[in-house]
Structure 1
Amino acid sequence: MHSHQIEQLTHDHVFLGDAHDKHAARTRWVVVLTAVMMVVEIVAGLMTGSMALLADGIHMATHAGALGVAAFAYSFARTHADNPRYTFGTGKMGDLAGFASALLLAVFAAGIAVQSVERLFEPGRIAYTEATVIAAFGLLVNLASALLLGADHHHDHDHHQGHGHSHSHGHTDNNLRSAYFHVLADALTSVLAIGALLAGRYLGWAWMDAAMGLVGAAVIGRWSWGLMRDTGAVLLDATSTTDLEGEVREAIEDGDARIVDLHVWQVGPGKFAAVVSLVAESPLTPTDYAKRAQIHEELVHITVETHRCPGPHRNLHAA
């Protein structure tokens, strides 16, 4: 094996999602809606002496905080996108925020579960009319928030479902997904609460309130685990990219060149980096090989190392 070359294509290191700014704007609107509802409920609770209103306002505050984390992540990623301190850009900031939100969702689900179990054994007095009105107002706010976030969330989902490769889930904006799940969690608890309250008021099924709380906790916990699993995989560079790796090999290996070491990992929503080491008897320039692989638009950062290796030694791995 003889001399080798290392080269990468010239490019910037801004690996934000294609709809980053649109997602950021919609998330900020949802933060405003949630914060306004939170303030209204807390003020109304203090003025009327309603503990139910006050408690729901404090509950809304936890979701406003979580959505605020998502909005901050978008802002931070955009502001520091060109900061050389972040070697591979700030594309993973959304996944970090998504992981934090997943933890908050898990805490939220656990809290609902504990409270529901307590109410199963010690049912409390429920102000059905007041509680139903509160849940209905909360549901309206959550539906408005879901409309703001839902279109973009489902667009991402449909895009990567139709992409046809196992690595295509990398197109999902996990920061938007986390904000959407917080809105859905609130909407779900409102819907279940309304159903339970109506059943309790008109059918006498007081136990339905606690039962629906447990159902909601289970669903929210499942969302939390899925979000935690996916964002954690991105943060640990463990995202499955088997198909993309196969496409890189197919684009570069030409009968002479053979890849002996390949690493592909996600650096942002729908953005991947690759490091390739190959051997060839008559290697082209690294730039030529990199351009071959760059037919896949997901690959935004490609580094290629070539080793000249005569035929008899082609089975050796690059040092």
Structure 2
Amino acid sequence: MHEDTLEQWQHSHDFAVNRDRAEHNTTTVMWLTAITMVVEIIAGSFFGSMALLADGWHMATHVAAFGIAVFAYRYARRHANNSQYTFGTGKVTVLGGYTSAIALAVTALTIAIESVTRFFEPIAIQFNEAIAVAILGLIVNLASAWLLQDHHHHDHDRHHHHDRNLQAAYIHVLTDALTSILAIIALFAGKYFGWIWLDAVMGLVGAGVISKWAYDLVRDTGKILLDGAIDKQIKLDIMTAIEADADNRIADLHVWYVGENLLAATISLVTHYPRSPEHYKSLLGGISSLTHVLVEVNQCRGEPCIK
């Protein structure tokens, strides 16, 4: 076989999706959060405000989470053609999302522990400063959320396509916005009605919501990282497309993720009327999420089921 003929049958195994805009926006949010963090820590130290200091150090955890997201984008891009990765670096951003989800779970646990502690050991609250900090944090988070909207959201083959690395960063911003809103409600109630206990209650509510978000993200990203079961509808679509042609019957089918929303499949089929693998691949052209397909064709020697 000549070299130029061989090259016609070879193809790239880079299944990473171009996320340049997401990387740029996440980097912007990381620096915006970092600047806000530094300002709050310096102001808290200078004015002796524990509220400012606490919120500043809390923001440090989100800066770290955004750093993970940015690193994942850059690593996936720079190593896209690295031969050490069998199917490219499409799952690196998923791993970034999974890591951020773990950080979210830790954040929820920390908030829950602190809230329970405040039930039994209430602390004096400087309402005016605390409200100002919460409003500042809410403004920064709303601006960050706008930047981190997934503009690459599409609906193909009845399946939603998400950038889970960006989704994780977005959820980090939402958790901060949620805690800011709950804090503002609790602080106003404490200042004007003396409901100091509401601060701890709102903390527990926030921890519960954040835990749910973290669980959903861990479940979704973990399924992709561990080659978990994909949507049954996709398998049904593959079987229908193949078996509607001639008397083909699928004997073995494996489908798994090689990147976010990108699938690979190995198909073993039996037929009395064998054709080239390319013919069977062409039957799957309507399933856009299938990016890498291997087909094994076995001829059945028995009596044909159809004439």
State the TM-score, normalizing by the size of structure 2: 0.92
SS of structure 2 residue aligned to 1:302: strand
RMSD: 1.8
Residue 13 of structure 2 corresponds to 13
Q: Which residue of 1 aligns with 2:269?
A: 278
Query: Shift of the alpha carbon at 1:239?
Result: 4.0
Partner secondary structure for residue 275 of structure 2? coil
C-alpha distance in structure 1 between counterparts of 2:128 and 2:215, whole Å: 35
Count of residue pairs the alignment pairs up: 297
The percentage of aligned residue pairs carrying the same residue is 52
Q: CA deviation at 1:55?
A: 1.5
Pairing of 1:1-319 with structure 2 (within 5 A):
10-17=10-17, 20-150=19-149, 152=151, 156=153, 159-160=154-155, 163=156, 165=158, 168-169=159-160, 171-253=161-243, 254-312=245-303
Residue in structure 2 matched with residue 5 of structure 1 by the alignment: none
Contact 1:181 1:223 in 2 (8 A): yes
- Are the equivalent residues in 2 in contact too, given 1:103–1:228 (CA < 8 A)? yes
* Conserved? CA contact 2:272–2:304, under 8 Å: no
**C-alpha distance in structure 1 between counterparts of 2:272 and 2:157, whole Å:** 35
Cα offset, 1:53, TM superposition: 1.4
Q: How far did residue 95 of structure 1 move?
A: 1.3
- How many angstroms does 1:302 deviate by? 0.6
1: CA distance between counterparts of 2:173 and 2:272?
58
**How far apart in 2 are the matches of 1:312 and 1:260?**
18
Change in CA separation of 1:312 and 1:151 when aligned onto 2, cut-off 3 Å: closer
User: How many angstroms apart in 2 are the aligned matches of 1:266 and 1:289?
Assistant: 20
Q: How many angstroms apart in 2 are the aligned matches of 1:164 and 1:278?
A: 23
Classify 1:218/1:290 alpha carbon distance in 2 versus 1 (closer, same or farther; 3 Å). same
Deviations 1:97-119 (A, max 9, x none): 11111111011001000100111
- Asked if structure 2 preserves the Cα contact closer than 8 Å seen for 1:196 and 1:208, the reply is yes
Could you tell me how far apart the structure 1 residues matched to 2:211 and 2:79 are? 33
CA contact (8 A) 1:17 1:270 kept: no
Preserved CA contact (<8 Å) 1:105 1:220: yes
Please report how far the alpha carbon of residue 151 of structure 1 lies from its aligned counterpart in structure 2 after TM superposition: 5.1
TM-score (norm 1): 0.89
- Note the C-alpha offset of 1:9: 6.2
Partners of 1:27 and 1:149 within 8 A in 2: yes
Structure 2, gaps ≥5 residues long: 1-7
